[in-house]
Amino acid sequence: MGELFATGRIVDLILGLMVLEALVLIVFRRSAGHGIAPVDLVASLLAGAMLLLALRFALTGAGWLPVAACLAAALVAHLWDLRRRWRVP
């Protein structure tokens, strides 16, 4: 188990599960006719994916620049998600 964390492969596993989650939700929406719109789903999952990539870079000792870039991308994705959700009465 320690090897999964030391190599960052745990993050790869979680990202794979996120892709599977997205596919299941998109298929559900198409078959049921309701659910989360794909663009909203991407906006939501992208922020988490960028945080996971930052974690992977940190776990593998990639240096501060890739970590910072992923954190900045996570912020942009999060703000995009908030903007899509924000409703002014």
- So what's the pLDDT on residue 64? 96
What's the chain's Rg over C-alpha atoms? 15
- So what's the pLDDT on residue 6? 86
Sign, CA dihedral 11-35-42-20, equals positive
Is 56:41 a contact under the CB 8 Å cutoff?
no
Average the pLDDT over 27-43 and give the result. Answer: 90
Question: Cα separation of 26 and 41, whole Å?
Answer: 9
Average the pLDDT over 16-36 and give the result. Answer: 93
pLDDT digits (tens, 9 = 90+) for 57-86: 999 999 999 999 999 999 999 999 999 888
Going by pLDDT thresholds of 50, 70 and 90, the confidence category of residue 88 is low
- List the one residue out of 84, 85, 53 whose CA is nearest residue 69: 53
Backbone torsions φ then ψ of 20, nearest 5 degrees: -60, -45
- So what's the pLDDT on residue 1? 84
Q: Tell me the pTM.
A: 0.87
